[in-house]
Amino acid sequence: MAALGVYVRDVGYVVGVGLQVLFFATPIFYPLSAVPERFRWLAHLNPLTPCVELIRSCLLSSGPPDPQLFLVGAGLGAASLVLGYGWFLYSRRGFADVI
């Protein structure tokens, strides 16, 4: 997002608001089971939900964590790493021209 912010100055404002929305939409202070069934698919679209649910299961349950949640979280992290690095390599050529 910082690489995009070089070209589009308003990205910083959008990211700030987007992070606040993402924080309040993440089931941190309430369990995912408290979300009504018809809206639960929206909670699963949140990329932070698998991470929070995995941490909650490690801290609050006595059994092992759900491997599917771990794989989803690891996949989201790896995908964001690859996409972010690719975008940075693509866009860094023009940084000096814009700044």
Question: pTM for the whole thing?
Answer: 0.66
pLDDT value, residue 53: 85
- Give the pLDDT of residue 82: 96
pLDDT at residue 85 in the model? 94
Q: Tokens at residue 4, please?
A: 């995009």
Q: Residue 9's pLDDT is what?
A: 85
What residues of the chain score a pLDDT lower than 50?
none
CB 91 within 8 A of CB 7: yes
The whole domain housing 71 covers 2-98
Structure confidence at residue 46 (pLDDT): 85
Angle between helices 67-91 and 49-60 (to 10 degrees): 140
Cβ-in-10-Å burial (0-12, 13-18, 19+) of 99 comes to exposed
Question: For the chain, what is the domain count?
Answer: 1
